[in-house]
Amino acid sequence: MKKQFDLIIVGGGIVGAATMYKIQEAHPDMRILLVEKETELAGHQTGHNSGVIHSGLYYKPGSKKAINCVKGRHELVAFAKEHKVAHDICGKIVAAISEEEFPHMEKIFQNGVANNVEGVEKVTAEQIKEIEPHVECIGGIWVPCTGIIDFPGATKKMCEVALQIQSESEVHLGEEVLDFVRGETETDVVTSKGSYRTKRLIVCGGLQADRLAKKDSVNLKEKVVGFRGDYYELNDEAKHKVKNLIYPVPNPDFPFLGVHFTRMVNGDIECGPNAVFTFKREGYGKTDFNMKDTLDALSYAGTWKLFMNNMSFGINEYRRAFSKKLFLKTLQRIIPSLTMDDLRPGRAGVRAMLLRQDGDTRDDFRIEYTDRSIHVLNAPSPAATACLAIGDDIRLMAEEHFNMEVGQD
């Protein structure tokens, strides 16, 4: 006899955990199973990102990214305060180095105003010196509501709270989902350790989102392509050169925010990330390789369109990935006093990007549903910041399409 659950969630990153928490909170009688293939929650994107609580500065007004980032940020901070998750609303500087950056800086400032990013203001080079004394720039933006947080800690706490609400709900770690077998009214979720039956399924697969969707017969034309980001850390003697968070004005022609400085909740200072195509979706080493992942990406037209559209950027990112000197040169644009001795190699992360067939990476958050399942297909940054808002969206979608009445299973 297969064990039956009212809902099964696949994926133990912060979006999966937030979804479990939000649905369990609204439906305390539901028996929910969350299945994660790694032996810990937050093992991939959630645990390898920069730990920043984003403000909502960079996202197109009216987009899901913009709306959910601001809404989710408020919820995340409130959750962290209530449940004692390590965090600090320390603020950040966006520093303009040349006058050519002012038009795009103005655009993201206006985005911030339109997105109700509280306290955002343009500041002079002198004002920036008071906040970050080692930054050399000609002006910038001060964003006081940006912060830092322990995202893995938040992920674990969300699951913990959900399990406190319903003792018959479960979280299974080290258990990979292999297939979905559809019956007339229910779905069997087949894993590496067994099989479980449910009428409702939610998949938050991150780097494996496209493959899991296809196993559930979702007609998906796009593919997930991974981009690795490498970090350096400042040595203890150099940590005083960065107080909190320092970002460049992002290049509008490149789909990433650029190398920045982040004070983590443990006091370390990270510098990065760059962005390079990875030959292994879950590979964090510079030479990691997986044949299936590589063939999957390089047989897809969208990957080559992205390469062609960003050729010079891509080459520079690769050179910087293997050259500490070039990485330092990028950092010195903002803090010229940094030296080679100030840096030590840090960790790396991989971002999942649902890449369109035309090579565009700038799609909004994307969640789709079938008659009995919901798939989070695209949840890049600021998904971790927005996780509780995304979880609410998924809850509402589930209530509408799965005939779930509040307070009932």
What's the confidence (pLDDT) of residue 406? 53
d(C-alpha 395, C-alpha 375), whole Å: 12
- 382 pLDDT tier (thresholds 50, 70, 90): very high
What's the confidence (pLDDT) of residue 95? 98
d(C-alpha 171, C-alpha 153), whole Å: 16
Q: Would you say residue 112 has pLDDT above 90?
A: yes
Mean pLDDT in residue range 287-312: 93
Structure tokens at 25: 């909170």
For residue range 42-80, list pLDDT tens digits in order: 999 999 999 999 999 999 999 999 999 999 999 999 999
- Provide the CB-side half-sphere exposure for 157 (13 A, CA): 16
Q: Would you say residue 363 has pLDDT above 90?
A: no
- 407 pLDDT tier (thresholds 50, 70, 90): very low
Domains annotated for the chain, with CATH where assigned, are 3-46+152-221+364-401 (3.50.50.60)
Range from 193-202, 308-317, 326-335 carrying the lowest mean pLDDT: 308-317
What's the confidence (pLDDT) of residue 408? 47
As a whole-number percent, the residues of the chain with pLDDT over 70 amount to: 98
For residue range 187-203, list pLDDT tens digits in order: 999 999 999 999 999 99
d(C-alpha 50, C-alpha 264), whole Å: 8
d(C-alpha 203, C-alpha 125), whole Å: 46
